[in-house]
Chains A and B, each alone.
Chain A
Amino acid sequence: MSESTNDPASVTFDSVRKVYLDDFVAVNGFDAEIEDGEFITVVGPSGSGKSTLLRMIAGLEEISDGDIRIGDDSIKGVEPQDRGIAMVFQNYALYPHMTVRKNMSYGLKLTTDLPDDEIERRVSETAEMMGIEDQLDDKPANLSGGQQQRVATGRAIVRDPKIFLMDEPLSNLDAKLKVHMRTELQRLQEELGTTTIYVTHDQHEALTMSDRIIVLDGGELQQFAPPDTVYNEPANRFVADFIGSPAMNFFDVELGGTTLVGDGFEYDVPPAIIDTILGNEAKSGLELGIRPEDITYDAAGDNTISAVVDVLEVAGSDNFVYLDIEGTECRVRVPGDVKPTVGDRTEIGFDPDDMHLFDVRTGENLLAESKGKRAARKADTEGAEEAA
Chain B
Amino acid sequence: MAQANQQTETSDSGGIDLSKSSTRELLAGVTFSLPYLVIAGLFLFGPLLLALYMSLHDWNALEPGQSEFIGFENYQILLSDPEFWNALWNTVYFVVLTVPPIVIGSLLLALGVNRDVKGQWFLRTVFFSPYVLTVAVVGLLWADIFNASGLIPYYVGGGNWLNSHSLAMPALAIATIWWQLAFNFIILLAARQNVSDRLYEAAKLDGASTWRMMRDITIPQMQNPLIFVVIVTFVGSFQVFGQPFIMTDGGPSFSTTTIVLYLYDTAFTGRDFGYAAAVGYVLFMILIAVSATSYYFLSGDRE
A residues whose Cβ falls under 8 Å from a Cβ of B = 58-60, 79-81, 85-87, 89, 91, 93-99, 102, 106-107, 110-111
B201 & A81 in contact (Cβ 8 Å cutoff): no
Tell me whether B11 is interfacial, beta carbon within 8 Å: no
In the complex, the answer to whether A91 meets B207 with C-beta atoms within 8 Å is no
A27, B204: Cα distance in complex, Å: 23
Contact digits for B115-140, partner A, Cβ 8 Å, 1 yes 0 no: 00000000000000000000000000
A85 engages B303 (CB within 8 Å): no
Instruction: Known contacts A102-B303, A110-B212; decide if A95 and B199 are in contact (CB<8 Å).
Output: yes
Write the chain B residue with the least CB distance to A83: B205
- If A93-B196, A97-B220, A97-B221 touch, does A60 touch B207 (CB 8 Å cutoff)? no
Q: How far is the CB of A81 from chain B (nearest CB, A)?
A: 3
- Residues facing A in B272-303 (CB within 8 A) are 302-303
- Chain B residues close to A by CB (< 8 Å): 196, 198-199, 201-208, 212, 216-217, 220-221, 223, 302-303
Q: Determine how close the nearest CB of chain B comes to the CB of A80; give it in whole angstroms.
A: 5
Residue of A with least CB distance to B220: A97
**Are the CB atoms of B204 and A80 closer together than 8 Å?**
yes
Contact indicator B223/A97 (Cβ below 8 Å): yes
> Does more than half of chain B's interface fall in helix, strand or loop, or is it mixed?
helix
Distance of A106 Cα from B216 Cα, bound (Å): 10
How close is A345's CB to chain B, nearest CB, in angstroms? 55
- The residues of B that contact A102 with a CB separation of less than 8 Å are 303
Cβ B302 vs Cβ A97 within 8 A: yes
B298 CB to nearest A CB, Å:
13
Cβ-closest chain B residue relative to A167: B198
Q: Min CB distance, B300 to chain A, in Å?
A: 12
Asked if A58 and B205 make an inter-chain contact with CB atoms under 8 angstroms apart, the answer reads: yes
A111 touches B198 (CB 8 A): no
Q: Given A93-B202, A96-B221, A97-B220, are A110 and B208 neighbors across the interface (CB < 8 Å)?
A: yes
Q: Are A93 and B198 in contact (CB under 8 A)?
A: yes
The CA-CA distance from A58 to B204 in the complex, in Å, is 10
Considering the complex, give the chain A residue whose CB is closest to the CB of B201. A60
CB distance B196 to A91 under 8 Å?
yes
Distance between A79 CB and nearest chain B CB, rounded to angstroms: 8
Can you pick out 29 interface pairs between chain A and chain B where the beta carbons lie within 8 Å of each other?
A58-B201, A58-B205, A59-B204, A59-B205, A60-B201, A60-B204, A60-B205, A80-B204, A81-B206, A87-B205, A93-B198, A93-B199, A93-B201, A93-B202, A94-B202, A95-B202, A95-B203, A95-B216, A95-B217, A97-B221, A97-B223, A99-B303, A106-B206, A106-B216, A107-B205, A110-B206, A110-B207, A110-B212, A111-B206
Across the interface, name the chain A residue whose C-beta is closest to B199. A93
